[in-house]
Structure 1
Amino acid sequence: MTIKSDEEIFRMREAGLVLWEAHQKAKELIKEGITTYEIDNAVEKYILSHGAVPLFKGVPGKIPYPAATCISINEEVVHGIPSNRKLVAGDIVSIDIGVKLKGWCSDAATTLPVGNISDEKRRLLTETENALRFAIKQLSVKTHWSLIVKEMQRRIESKGFSIVEDLVGHGIGRELWEHPQIPNYFSSNNEDFRTRPGTTLAIEPMVNLGSKEVRLKNDHWTIVTEDGKPSAHFEHTVAISRSGPVVLTCGPNGEGWAM
């Protein structure tokens, strides 16, 4: 785990502000009839126009990831590839964006409704975002991630939802994926880590309406729920300071974070 200086965390915050604005651009475009490709194209143009680089494009895999964003609809958990698919009323759409600015990375995701959505989808979005907020706030009082994630998982499961176990959060800094891995579920077999000042983390619970099982689609990237039920995904990049957690991917005045 690489401990960051105050100056390095400030640089990550600069990247986080560009990322927040990119998410606002995507949010403005979410409406019935727009394609996910159109959203991705607008976000990529915004990122590049601000001197940053979209981190996901070209990520190695069986095929290199072809887009600047991951846009996942309904039962798609993460890594949905933007396409000519049009959004329809009642969809929920997860948008995951990563940027690098002046050598420093930020990563954040949110799940948004398209028009009116069902009560169960609305509750899924609310409880997933609440889980992320809970975990971040606990960084100021808990000394180990295992203590936080155990309670986060309990809260989600008490609402009748399930936590995806096959995908994790991660450390972040100069690189998009740094040590440690950050599981969203508790197991005595998981590697634990101390939550100490200078740590920078991308925390990202993925929560399913149905079972926790997921599978990979034939496009080699998109991960979907095995039972076809909806999934939600919320993520922030967070630094731990001496006075507690600092969200690096919220707005300039705390938008997207302040309760």
Structure 2
Amino acid sequence: MTVESQRDIDGILKVGRVVARVRDAMLNAIEPGMTTAELDQLGGKMLDHYGAKSAPKVTYNFPGYTCISINEQAAHGIPGARVIQAGDIVNVDVSAELDGYFADTGGTIVVPPVARVKARLCHATQLALTRALAEAKADAPIHRIGKAIQRTAKAHGFKVIRNLAGHGVGRSLHEEPEAIVGYFEPRDKRRLRLGQVIAIEPFLSTLSTQVAEADDGWTLVGHPANLSAQYEHTVIVTRGAPIVATLSEARN
């Protein structure tokens, strides 16, 4: 969507604050011995507390309130009986609808003890998001976002998962512009528009550049030994720095 009024801006910021709180609470609650279903229940209860609805449930009938992906799982992991173990790399992706507006966010942590490669992967992916956000300006080519992500991944010795991408968001979970890829695609001639609402989400990995759907019909996985990280913000495009709707409250 493109915001057309202060009401639109306020709506995106309100739902953005909700998903950010849920994301941060879930990431902070992760500990060895917890199942992904238990972690998801925390997210579901928080969304309900704020009067928000799980966007993947509403939009796609996803079998969980949030997506929780561990180790070889890159995205769209179904919450269930899997037990979180020490040393796991865990991604939480939270998206919700509130008062007709949608926001999408995600983050990744490593359960201690933290292996050096996992810490480096998370750091590089966070940095890729920061550098991608700096390219999200009105009238800028969309492919600058992917170029920033790809350059950061390469500089840190990691790969980009090429068939996972950011997207438009706002009035629904996935909107135009679709396929805001994490690599430089010079054939993409699209430009960002003033007031456009988009989700930017780099996926960096140790081995895989492609992921495929698992037998459960949802979870996306690469090589069995692959590790990946994802960080995601919903933003409103301006002529300068974007308005980030999904910042942690400590940074607001």
Check the 8 A contact 2:138/2:194 in 1, yes or no.
Answer: no
RMSD of aligned C-alpha atoms? Answer: 1.7
2:197 aligned partner: 200
Structure 2 match to 1:108: 105
- Would you say the 8 A contact 2:44–2:65 is kept in 1? yes
Does residue 155 of structure 2 align to residue 158 of structure 1?
A: yes
The answer on 1:21 being equivalent to 2:21 is: yes
* Separation of aligned partners in 1, 2:182 and 2:121: 16
Residue segments in structure 2 that go unaligned for 5+ positions in a row: none
After superposition, the Cα gap between the structure-2 partners of 1:224 and 1:29, relative to the gap in structure 1 and judged at 3 Å, is same
The 3 A distance-change label for structure 1 pair 150 and 142 is: farther
CA distance in structure 1 between the partners assigned to 2:137 and 2:198 by the alignment: 14
Judge conservation of contact 1:131–1:155 (CA < 8 Å) in 2: yes
Per the TM alignment, residue 152 of structure 1 is displaced from its structure 2 partner at its CA by: 2.3
Distance in 1 between the 2:52 and 2:138 partners? 34
TM-score (normalizing by structure 2): 0.93
* Identity level (%): 34
Consecutive unaligned residues in structure 1, runs of 5 or more? none
1:151 offset after TM fit, Å? Answer: 3.2
SS in structure 1 of the partner of residue 144 of structure 2: helix
CA offsets 1:109-146 (integer angstroms, 9 cap, x no match): 00011112210010000000100011002224971121
Q: Residue by residue, what CA displacement relative to the aligned partner does 1:195-239 show, whole Å, maximum 9, x if unpaired?
A: 232011000111111131322110011111125211111100011
> Secondary structure at 2:162's aligned position in 1?
coil
SS of match in other structure, 2:63: coil
Instruction: Tell me the equivalent position of 2:75.
Output: 78
Q: Secondary structure at the match of 1:175?
A: coil
Post-superposition shift, 1:253? 5.0
User: CA separation in 2, counterparts of 1:252 and 1:229?
Assistant: 32
Mapped to 1, the partners of 2:224 and 2:84 lie a distance apart of 21
Partners of 1:30 and 1:148 in 2: CA distance:
31
**Residue 184 of structure 2, aligned match among 160, 183, 186:** 186
Distance 2:63 2:18 in 1: 21
Q: Which residue of 2 aligns with 1:40?
A: 40
State the SS of the aligned residue for 2:80: coil
- Deviation at residue 159 of structure 1 after TM alignment: 1.8
Moved more, 124-133 or 17-26: 17-26
Q: Distance in 2 between matches of 1:144 and 1:243?
A: 14
> In the alignment, is the contact (CA less than 8 A) between 2:24 and 2:248 conserved in 1?
no
